[in-house]
Amino acid sequence: MHDDRTLVEARLRRVLDERVRPAVYPESVPLRVEVWHAPGEPVPVAEGLAAEPGPIEVGARWGAPWGTSWFRVTGTVPEAWAGRTVEALLDLGFDENMPGFQCEGLVYRPDGTPVKGLNPRNQWVRIGAPVAGGEEVRLHIEAASNPVVLDYHPFRPTPLGDKDTAGSEPQYTLTRMDLAVFDETVWQLVLDLEVLGELMAELPVDSARRHDILRAVERALDAVDLQDVNGTADRARARLTGVLSAPAVPSAHRISAVGHAHIDSAWLWPLRETVRKVARTTSNMTALIEDEPEFVFAMSQAQQWAWVKEHRPEVWARVKKAVAEGRFVPAGGMWVESDTNMPGSEAMARQFVHGKRFFLDEFGIENEEAWLPDTFGFAAGLPQIIRAAGSKWLLTQKISWSQTNRFPHHTFHWEGIDGTRIFTHFPPVDTYNCSMKGSELAHAARNFRDKGRARHSLAPTGWGDGGGGTTREMVARAARLRDLEGSPTVVWEAPRAFFEKAEAEYPEPPVWVGELYLELHRATLTSQAKTKQGNRRSEHLLREAELWAATAAVRTGFRYPYEELDRIWKTVLLHQFHDILPGSSIAWVHREARATYERIAAELDGITGAAQRALAGEGGTELLFNAAPHAGQGVPAGGAAPPAVTGRTRLTPREDGGFTLDNGLLRITVDARGLVVSAYDPAADRETVAPGRAANLLQLHPDFPNMWDAWDVDSFYRNTVTDLTDAESVTAGEDGASVRVVRAFGSSRVTQLLTLPPGERRLLLDTEVDWHETEKFLKLAFPLDLHAERYASETQFGHVFRPTHTNTSWESAKFEACNHRFVHLEEPGWGVAVVNDSTYGHDVTRTVRADGDRGTTTTVRVSLLRAPRFPDPETDQGVHRFRHALLPGASIADAVREGWRVNLPERRLTGAREVAPLVTVDNDAVVVTAVKLADDGSGDVVVRFHEAHGGRARATLTAGFAVAEVMATDLLERPWDEGTPPVPDGDRVTVRLRPFELVTLRLRRA
């Protein structure tokens, strides 16, 4: 037999494109279109419906960037169409290749009832099936002219990312506004041919199944009259019945399809637009659920559900109905799909507290899975947090984006820093926007790394980011693929059903220990410095507000601000979304974030100030309020007292123009360049700075990654570096314990204050940068005379170790990593820590000195600022302030303590009385991260703490009030029986903790 395979396949493509697909809508008539352009920000639905529109024609340009236009379309169904299915085809000017990244619309009936969203792959609205003929049609479209920021030429600077700079040029051309007859038989034929054609392309050329399909397709094409596709579609479909009914082989890979629409809570659009994206998508999905009895849709991010409830109550009613039917599924149990590297311990816990509580309160549903398909890597402390929230599974897909190493598993146990293991799945389909194409499903089956031991995987299916979610075409494809020879099998089901099946079939999966590091998007640890500073500051201000308000409530009857704290926490958690906190959103998002953080800070300062005043009373005694979890300056943790008297620092000028700072505990030498050339620890007789090197060294690199400007820094940036050693001035500080350094470079200027406080073993470095560089990366280097094969970085509820060497590709790929408040390196008996108040990105490298002592120089470099031009062309321009501290001779305990102290400086207040702590802990290894009143308003005191040094610990917690009952709880403050139970004894509780173990106690007041 002659091989005509390519001939038939080419014939299929052309017939589908030029004859069959156009025949889905064989007849159409134009609708009358009018438009009203809202003058500013989006208006309420009632106002948009009531506005008086003016005429507009198909082919006209419309829509200034970020504008809203209300279209009114009217028409009459032709009498001749009686008995047929009719749809409105409403094309706002869509590009089908860009779902979610351009204009969108939400269709309403005249009474304000939402119908469905309009998106590039979803442009139809059903009018009737069948129609009687003669019906009057009137629809309203709330259309958003969101500009295309990520274009076909991506990563080019654009002013479109902020309404203040985007201009007023119309963005779109109105393309089609018609009533049309919908021929479902032809539509079904399209799906038959697409599914079989895609499956055929994935099968081996020499397989019998591929040729069976080829001949069936050929017979179907022969049956189609190209001049009468609508009249012959049934006949063509009949010739495909046999190949579409052949069942899958027993060993076929099994895919759980979950309807999905990953919607970034902000990214290339502002927060206000996400509210509307969610409304459009939920309208689409509730409509699809009504039409498709097997379809199941899952939506994560409690914040997005809350937006629907608040802003679109008519959509919310449909959502609640679908949830009650088990078809619209709350997923993930987090407030947003947050970044997980940078949020602090307590913030990461509250993501689950607020997310899970929303779904419990609204629907009585307990989420057991964390759902984070798009987050940029996962911190090693996360498994314990997931478990402590009452969950046990994790789904993500993003690790498949890693550039260097291929992750070895798709289903596995992920073990965190404390030993907690979470059953984890990476969908091998390698997308969270699956469209049920044959190529996607074949890739999932081939790619699945756990074949032979497991055969289940999950496929999140639908267009995201405002693309409208799952389409009816995807559902139709899945129906054909439910049990089809040559293909994985497909069934719609909720995440819980998938995880239960996957866990049951794979009871002993492989184990991955430690962080899930994404070998990409490393620069998100640095981009948009003020957003990151706002987050860090807000986290610590919230700790203070809760601590002092709880203490004042118990001691003085102060009103605990439940509602205010709940609202502020949710705002902070929203801004930890994985494109806001990482700095990868448009300028508009970060401009609003800066203003939001300033407003939050003022409100939290007000709460803290009022509570401290209630505690201290009116008087003239100077008090130091210490919110840190360790005693400092003679003040207990969580208490207030007069500050202790410390020693003094001597500042001595040097002949070279530099200075020496000496407080008896450290001796710091600053040379005439403003660089630290010595940091001597007299107690250990150790020099901190490597021979011939200088610390406090600012280094500037070119920074132009190959892609993803705000997201990425590529390793070749290190090939070129400029050491910023020239100083305009090096002078003594006014306090007699500091040195002031001023230097300029490029278009920027740096002012530093290097301070050695009396009685302290830390050198403080306050750095102000007036930053006006473009596509540059600024680092602050500390070359240390220290031999260490690994170092510690703080993460949630503990720290993670990373190697300082690059023996393997896995280690080499971690050339930029995340820390919270500290990094720590040590040789046995002596170490060094670098702590910070707001930076996250850093790198640690090691070299062996070629001459002299042949010792090891280990260099810690803190990442300060970048200047990418996409998506925000003015990223980080302006003044920034950072605080770091160098701690020679530091243990891990010192690093933990000083990290907290830099981020929670003491507050000074005059008052009448000292304040005893509400709770105390007698072991510094046990760090209290939260003291608050229980969220249920009972007045119970909740204390959360963890072992922070990486060893076992025994501690006694003593309450400063009468305790009636002590209960161990999960993060949601519910009884929890995991871990070693606490042993209460009156107002004292004894606990034994394993390394990094997290514990929450609820103390009922007597």
- Asked if residues 551 and 435 have their Cβ atoms less than 8 Å apart, the reply is no
Packing angle of the helix pair 271-291, 472-480 (nearest 10 deg): 50
Out of 183, 374, 712, 785, pick the active-site residue: 374
The percent helix, strand, coil of the chain (3-state, each to 5) is 30, 30, 40
Q: Are the C-beta atoms of residues 290 and 319 closer than 8 Å to each other? A: no
- Cα separation, 472 vs 465, whole angstroms: 18
- The helix/strand count (H/E) of the chain reads as 19, 53
Residues 254, 488 contacting (CB under 8 angstroms): yes
User: For the stretch 657-673, what's the b/e string if a residue is b when 16 or more beta carbons lie within 10 angstroms of its beta carbon?
Assistant: ebbbbbbebbbbbbbeb
Six-digit token string for 107: 């269709």
In angstroms, how far is CA 100 from the centroid of its own chain?
A: 18
Q: Which residues contact 862 (CB under 8 A, 6 or more apart)?
A: 779, 780, 781, 782, 834, 836, 839, 841, 842, 884
Strand order in the sheet with 28-30: 28-30, 176-181, 86-91, 124-128
- The single-letter DSSP state of residue 18 is I
| φ/ψ of residue 546, rounded to 5 | -65, -45
Distance between CA atoms of 804 and 825, rounded to whole angstroms?
A: 10
- Alpha carbons 1004 and 1006: distance in angstroms, whole number: 6
Beta strands in 828-906 (DSSP E): 830-836, 841-848, 856-866, 878-888
> Rounded to 5 degrees, what are φ and ψ at 483?
-155, 80
Give 914's contacts (C-beta < 8 A, 6+ positions apart): 623, 639, 640, 641, 642
**In angstroms, rounded to a whole number, what is the distance separating the alpha carbons of residues 649 and 668?**
11
- Which residues in 147-175 are b (16+ Cβ under 10 Å) and which e? bbbbeeeebebbebbbbeebeeebbbebe
Distance CA 489, CA 854 (A): 62
CA distance 368 to 356: 9
Q: First CA to last CA across the chain, in angstroms?
A: 91
> Measured in whole angstroms, how far is the alpha carbon of residue 506 from the centre of its chain?
29
Residue 990 one-letter amino acid:
T
- Rounded to a whole number of angstroms, the CA Rg of the chain reads 31
975, burial (CB in 10 Å: exposed 0-12, middle 13-18, buried 19+): exposed
Nearest-angstrom CA–CA distance, 484 and 453: 22
Residue-by-residue DSSP string for 315-342: HHHHHHHHHHTTSEEE-S-SSS-B-SSS
Known catalytic residue: 91?
no
Tokens of 176: 């089609």
Distance from C-alpha of 469 to C-alpha of 461, rounded to nearest angstrom? 8
Residue 2 makes CB contacts below 8 A (sequence gap 6+) with: none
Strand duo 729-732 + 738-745: pairing: antiparallel
Beta strands in 873-987 (DSSP E): 878-888, 907-911, 919-921, 926-933, 941-947, 953-959, 963-969, 983-985
Give the three-class secondary structure for 546: helix
Hey, which residues are catalytic here? 374
